[in-house]
Amino acid sequence: MSENPLLVIVGPTAVGKTALSLQIARDFEVEIISADSRQIYRYCDIGTAKPTPEEQAVAPHHLIDVADPDQVFGLAEFQEQAYTLIEAILQRRRLPLLVGGTGQWVRAVVEGWQAPQVLPDPALRAALEAKAQEMGVGAFHAQLAAVDPEAAQKIDPRNVRRVIRALEVYQKSGVPFSQQQRKQPPDYHILQIGLTMPRELLYERVDRRIELMMAQGLLEEVERLVKLGYSWDKPAMLGLGYRQIGQYLRGEVSLEQAVALIKKETRRFIRQQYNWFRLSDPQIHWFDLSQGLAAEYPKIKELIETKFDLIR
């Protein structure tokens, strides 16, 4: 096996990353590290499309169910734990497999970001988001340019979430975000596999997945979280799906409207994911799954074997 190998699977929500990771686990000695900022939360199984216990039994899974719904688990903490896990898996002479759709987390590991040591502050973020809505994206972005012109130059004004994070880091630490986000690539032999499919087909898959989540009990899952005492402002409750079901439970929208909002916001999230995982990125080997995983898997398997000298 190649020295210090790291296999990475990226792609948008519902494209088939879990299915591919499990197929790879059946053919190779791997341990899977989840790079999903929502699957870290306990009790949040259906709404995060978490691998089932049966799926997790196929291979060891890491960084799933590691935080309570009211805990803040940020980029720096994820990166540190991911690197520790990768080293431990390599010591066991297995192949670490990083899987996830949280682009920032994946790239932080692959590119060796020197992540800002500033944990997310939900209250500050809410205040900044309200300010962005009040001022408009242009004027809000100008506030970042005034304190961190380098970061402002790299962040699209329309990407309000990233502008908020940059301002949050500056306000909490006093050090510009750009000065804290340097890169030191890790000493890994990395293969990145990207999964994609035509956007309309992917949207259809998302709609079916959300309808299945509702049938499996997403509403009841959110109700249980409320009964456990987790309020609507806790990190897990602000996640996609949980937030919209919360609107229904508070009487702000009908259940039908809540489901429609989940579908709409998931499509928007997919567009954000494609900004992180670009089809033009030469570091990612892309495979179109519009004909199904079985049609592409032989090529994926051969690529892994060739890259890491793994012949099974």
Within this chain, do residues 15 and 99 fall inside the same structural domain, yes or no?
yes
Q: What percent of the chain has pLDDT over 70?
A: 97
Read off the CATH number of the domain in which 82 is found.
3.40.50.300
Give the pLDDT mean for 59-74.
Answer: 95
Mean pLDDT over the full length of the chain: 94
Within this chain, do residues 57 and 36 fall inside the same structural domain, yes or no?
yes
Read off the CATH number of the domain in which 129 is found.
1.10.20.140
Within this chain, do residues 27 and 173 fall inside the same structural domain, yes or no?
no
Within this chain, do residues 53 and 192 fall inside the same structural domain, yes or no?
yes
Predicted pLDDT at 307: 93
Tokens of 61: 């899974």
**Overall pTM surpassing 0.85 (yes/no):** no
Within this chain, do residues 95 and 20 fall inside the same structural domain, yes or no?
yes
Give the pLDDT mean for 119-124.
Answer: 86
Exposed, middle or buried: residue 56 (CB in 10 Å: 0-12, 13-18, 19+)? Answer: middle
Q: Report the distance separating Cα 193 and Cα 300, nearest Å.
A: 8
Residue 64's pLDDT band (cuts 50, 70, 90): very high
Within this chain, do residues 210 and 251 fall inside the same structural domain, yes or no?
yes
Within this chain, do residues 64 and 82 fall inside the same structural domain, yes or no?
yes
Within this chain, do residues 62 and 95 fall inside the same structural domain, yes or no?
yes
**pLDDT tens per residue across span 127-153:** 999 999 999 989 999 999 999 998 899
**pLDDT tens per residue across span 173-192:** 887 888 776 788 899 999 99
Q: Report the distance separating Cα 255 and Cα 305, nearest Å.
A: 48
Predicted pLDDT at 312: 46
Within this chain, do residues 162 and 87 fall inside the same structural domain, yes or no?
no
Angle, helix 255-276 to helix 242-249, in steps of 10 degrees: 160
Within this chain, do residues 97 and 38 fall inside the same structural domain, yes or no?
yes
Read off the CATH number of the domain in which 250 is found.
1.10.287.890
Instruction: Note down the domain range covering 146.
Output: 122-180
Q: How many domains does the chain have?
A: 3
Within this chain, do residues 101 and 163 fall inside the same structural domain, yes or no?
no
Within this chain, do residues 9 and 77 fall inside the same structural domain, yes or no?
yes
